[in-house]
Amino acid sequence: MTVVAVGYERAVATLTLDAPANRNALSAVLVGELAEALAGCEKDDAVRAVVLTHTGNTFCAGADLRDPPDPGALVGLLRQIVALRKPVVARVAGHVRAGGLGLLGACDLAVAGGAATFAFTEVRIGVAPAVISLPLLPRCDPRALARYYLTGERFDGAEAVRAGLLTAAGDEVDVVLAPLLDGLRRSSPQGLAETKALLTAKVLEAFDRDAADLTALSARLFSSGEAREGMSAFLERRDPAWVV
């Protein structure tokens, strides 16, 4: 059973995260299938752009705590999205948490509907948004990231736009998405590829400079005693020991 569905319409490939029972969490399987689907889009000359979307009420709940991906594999997936020579557009019609926000940060454009909510929940389980910072720090407002990284607060689509996490938000996600897809379909493959290369150069520099250090940080934090307590508390639906 696959957890990433692939569709195609008028030069746009749609990759759908399809593990709603798991809230489309970043499992080793999902990360591997999404990387494979993106590689197929890269090779297909008929694909002008890629839409990344989801089934269920959650775009992505972050790392799968029962079957987490290797940090290096997650870094590789995020870099693959950034480096893909075709624009990638996130279509969000539900909630996004933790590592799922890294997927949004890696995408070139991102839109959300009225039901979408966002939160960097890493600090609440004893870790940090380490590898997902590779695409986020170069693209988002630093004050907004400081607030939401440090507090784990939930925020809505309008705030996500202000923070630079989203391109646009509205009540109906497909209404917001339509003009973006129309523009991409009117653009030449060469024009899109070279323009994306201009826009992503600084982000790829961050990957090349910082990926090894942040991957090591992620691995160290996830193996710590505090993280084990935080993840146990999350899975057991209780407060961790440090809550006062």
CA distance 157 to 80: 25
Catalytic residue check, 33:
no
Distance in angstroms between the alpha carbons of the first and the last residue of the chain: 43
Identify the helix (H) or strand (E) that includes residue 180: helix 173-185
| Rounded-to-integer distance, Cα 220 and Cα 213, Å | 11
Q: Which residues pair with 52 in a beta bridge?
A: 15, 90
Distance CA 198, CA 244 (A): 47
Question: Which residue among the candidates 36, 42, 122, 153 is catalytic per the annotation?
Answer: 122
77/75 Cα distance (integer angstroms): 5
CA distances from 1 to 5, 18, 20, 58, 239 (A): 10, 10, 13, 19, 34
Closest by CA position to 76, among listed 198, 205, 211, 196 = 211
Other beta carbons within 10 angstroms of residue 1's beta carbon come to: 5
CB atoms within 10 A of CB 239: 11
Is 91 in a helix, a strand, or coil?
strand
Residues acting as catalytic residues: 122
